[in-house]
């Protein structure tokens, strides 16, 4: 168990924040002057903040996107998020992460969000995190890139050169596809996408994180 690394998605897996966050992403882009926004986020090539901004920026302005805009976008996201009630944890998420810490089980976070919004969501749910274990779409648009960032961060944090196995824990089809592309084990969380996950090759899906926790020991 202590040689297995668990990589946690955040939105929809640990925090009940998907609807609020997509709303905030849309409004944050509008505040940057982007008017024609494709809000069919589930069908994006990459389900990440950095891709959403670049894709819609280039659609609107017919000009090459500059990564310098990511900082303004990130700050605008925080402004929009704070207009909503604080997000709540997916039931059992806080205690699950504490369980991992208490039992010295290696874990990290990989999210398609940008760093500040990701940390705000975890803080609002009082879920423990360390910046050194958080990988985000600030570095890569494709999920594969920041998931591998998360692995490297975990190696450094836990002082391990290798993990015998790596398990990706997520709620979305994009989480499963990323795990498959990287040859990682996968655990699905929640009933919303369970059918799709199973249809696409997932073999371990649980209704909630509490159910998943029962399988660990």
Per-position DSSP letters for 10-77, written without gaps between them: -BTTTEE-HHHHHHHHHHHHHTTT--S----GGGSSS-SHHHHHHHHHHHHH-S---TTHHHHHHHHH
Average pLDDT of the segment spanning 37-66: 95
User: Among the three residues 60, 81, 102, which one is the final residue of a domain in this structure?
Assistant: 81
Structural domain count of the chain: 2
- Do 182 and 116 share a structural domain? yes
Only one residue has tokens 């996968």, namely: 186
User: Among the three residues 34, 65, 81, which one is the final residue of a domain in this structure?
Assistant: 81
- Do 54 and 95 share a structural domain? no
> What average pLDDT does the structure give for the chain?
96
pLDDT at 1: 64
pLDDT at 72: 97
What CATH number is associated with residue 150? 3.40.50.1000
- Do 150 and 56 share a structural domain? no
- Do 120 and 75 share a structural domain? no
Tell me the C-alpha to C-alpha distance, in Å, between residue 106 and each of 2, 40, 76, 87, 138.
6, 35, 33, 25, 23
- Report pLDDT digits (tens) over 147-189: 999 999 999 999 999 999 999 999 999 999 999 999 999 999 9
Tell me the C-alpha to C-alpha distance, in Å, between residue 42 and each of 74, 105, 193.
20, 32, 12
- Do 120 and 168 share a structural domain? yes
- The length of the chain, given as a count of residues: 217
- Do 38 and 95 share a structural domain? no
Neighbour-count burial of 173, counting CB atoms closer than 10 A to its CB (0-12 exposed, 13-18 middle, 19+ buried): middle
- Do 167 and 60 share a structural domain? no
Domain span including residue 58: 19-81
- Do 159 and 106 share a structural domain? yes
Only one residue has tokens 């500059």, namely: 66
Instruction: Name which residue leads in pLDDT, 102 or 1.
Output: 102
- Do 160 and 99 share a structural domain? yes
Taking the model in full, what pTM does it have? 0.96
The span from the CA of 209 to the CA of 28, in Å, is: 31
User: Among the three residues 81, 97, 126, which one is the final residue of a domain in this structure?
Assistant: 81
- Do 194 and 132 share a structural domain? yes
Question: Does the pLDDT value for residue 92 go beyond 80?
Answer: yes
Residues 6+ apart with CB under 8 A from 164: 3, 4
- Do 71 and 124 share a structural domain? no
- Do 116 and 62 share a structural domain? no
């Amino acid at each position: 168990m202590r040689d297995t690394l668990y990589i946690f998605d955040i939105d929809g897996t640990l925090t009940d924040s998907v609807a609020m966050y997509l709303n905030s992403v849309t409004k944050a882009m509008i505040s940057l002057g982007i008017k024609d926004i494709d809000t069919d986020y589930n069908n994006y090539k990459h389900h990440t903040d950095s891709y959403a901004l670049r894709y819609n920026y280039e659609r609107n302005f017919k000009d090459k996107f500059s990564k310098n805009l990511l900082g303004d976008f990130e700050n605008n996201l925080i402004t929009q998020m704070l207009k909503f009630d604080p997000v709540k944890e997916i039931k059992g998420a806080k205690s699950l992460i504490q369980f991992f810490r208490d039992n010295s089980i290696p874990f990290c976070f990989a999210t398609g969000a940008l760093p500040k919004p990701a940390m705000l969501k975890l803080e609002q749910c009082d879920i423990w995190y360390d910046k050194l274990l958080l990988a985000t779409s600030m570095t890569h648009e494709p999920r594969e890139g920041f998931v591998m960032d998360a692995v490297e961060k975990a190696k450094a944090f836990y002082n391990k050169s290798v993990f015998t196995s790596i398990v990706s824990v997520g709620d979305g089809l994009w989480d499963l596809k990323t795990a498959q592309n990287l040859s990682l084990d996968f655990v699905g969380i929640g009933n919303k996408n369970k059918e799709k996950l199973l249809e696409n090759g997932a073999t371990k899906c649980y209704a909630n994180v509490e159910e998943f926790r029962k399988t660990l020991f």
